[in-house]
Amino acid sequence: MQPFGGSLFCNKKMMIIKTHFLSLHFPILLLLQIIIATKADLLTVGSGVGVEIGIGGGGGIWIGGGGGGSNNVPDSPANIPSASLAPAYTALQAWKSAIKEDPFKILASWVGSNVCNYKGVFCAQPEQGYGLTGPDGPIVAGIDLNRANLQGTLVKELSLLTDLSIFHLNSNRFTGTIPQSFSYLSSLTELDLSNNHFSGQFPISVLYIPNLLYLDLRFNFFYGSIPEDLFNKNLDAIFLNNNQFSGEIPSNLGNSPASVINLANNKFIGNIPFSLGYINPKLREILFLNNQLTGCIPQSIGLWQYLQVFDVSFNSLMGHLPDTISCLSDIEVLNLGHNKLSGEVPDLICDLNRLMYLTVAYNFFSGFSQECSKLSFRNVGFDVSLNCIHGRGMQRPEPECSIIPGGGLNCLRIPVVQPLVCAILFDIQKNSNRIPSSSSSP
């Protein structure tokens, strides 16, 4: 069975994380509502009807969003309806010329000077305050071309869209690299380039986007190491899964304030950083599955008291499980399968109240506690197949269990007792400083 780019509950959990992200950033939610409302018209000719939001101090009047503009207006800057849209006209026409295939004819609407009538382009009328609109005209605040099946490249002129807040290109066929000029997208908060054919090393330019909160590069062909500064950025979501990233995971992983980090299905090697639990208590999901990680599961994992999904399956981790996993009081999905872990699965882990799915399959565990045997009565998925548990079916052949991998590995485990250990860990977390890195954050 091939591992996939997420946990068993990936779709459900991603919806939860997205909702969490949007609840923290209400202005983004307003724009997404407009995008969703017009999404059905993206692949058909729409009317470009404006929608008024105008709520509170961060609203505005949202204009256009996929309407079929006047196709008879010449492509001339002289016909631009507002000086505020002149840079956007230049940027979008330059990008249009770099898109070579458009099977759904979306770019047929990208004619004329009023870019607010372009399909997939969403404009906003900024507010001065007190509900009054600004004097400078509309701005391009969002681009959503998800699942448009466009083939082409990104162009440096896109950096002229300095008011752009959301840029979604999920599920297209864009190739090449991310322009260095993207660092000038000063208003961008959400960048989704997933499921394309981008390549090259990690796009450093995204680290210089000052207000970026959501970064999605999954399902591309990026390779090489990832920079330490990624985890010093104020990102709420980091998706790098299903690429070809390699090397060791930076030691300052614990610095990231993200609520979800997905590093699955790459080629990372080495240990899970010891710092992983020392800083960020907000983390909800972290996925390391299907890499080439070795060593132990760090004892500091217990500091992630709000963690809901932890997936390290399909690696080569060894040693015993740390008792501090029992501090993960919110954990729902715990996937430790397809490693080289050993020892017994303790009561402290199987007693976690919110646990929905626990797999330790394809390891070298020699037994599990009485509490673990009760998981089926709680409707908790529990898979212990292909281990070394004597007298239980579906286990490894005896010769495979004669030598336990990593038998001499020192995981620096400190024997602890619940609930004292969790109280101590959380106190350490409150008083800890950020993990230093060799370079400063952009």
Q: How far apart are CA 275 and CA 288, in angstroms?
A: 15
**pLDDT tens string 119-164:** 999 999 886 555 555 557 899 999 999 999 999 999 999 999 999 9
pLDDT of residue 432: 54
pLDDT of residue 154: 98
Residue ranges in 334-376 assigned as alpha helix (H): 347-350
Is 244 within 8 Å of 201 (Cβ atoms)? no
Residue 109 φ/ψ, nearest 5 degrees: -85, -5
Instruction: Calculate what percentage of the chain has a pLDDT beyond 70.
Output: 71
Q: Is 36 exposed, middle or buried (CB count within 10 Å of its CB: 0-12, 13-18, 19+)?
A: exposed
Closest C-alpha among 313, 218, 345, 379 to residue 7: 313
Q: Which of 14-18, 403-407, 409-413 bottoms out in mean pLDDT, i.e. has the lowest?
A: 14-18
The residue that leads in pLDDT, 433 or 333, is 333
Closest C-alpha among 210, 252, 211, 212 to residue 229: 252
Q: Is 229 exposed, middle or buried (CB count within 10 Å of its CB: 0-12, 13-18, 19+)?
A: buried
Residue ranges in 73-228 assigned as alpha helix (H): 86-97
Q: Which of 62-76, 121-135, 273-287 bottoms out in mean pLDDT, i.e. has the lowest?
A: 62-76
pLDDT of residue 278: 62
Q: Is the pLDDT of residue 54 over 50?
A: no
What's the pLDDT band for 376 if we cut at 50, 70, 90?
Answer: confident
Which amino acid is it at 14?
M
**DSSP letter assigned to residue 129:** E
Contacts of 231 (CB under 8 A, 6+ apart): 250, 252, 253, 254, 255, 256, 437
Mode of pairing for the β-strands spanning 357-359 and 333-335: parallel
| 210-222 average pLDDT score | 98
pLDDT of residue 423: 56
22 Cα distance to chain centroid: 13
pLDDT of residue 1: 43
Largest CA distance in the chain: 82
In the three-class reduction of DSSP (H, G, I as helix; E, B as strand; rest coil), residue 439 is classed as coil
Helix %, strand %, coil % of the chain (to 5): 25, 20, 50
**pLDDT tens string 97-108:** 999 999 999 999
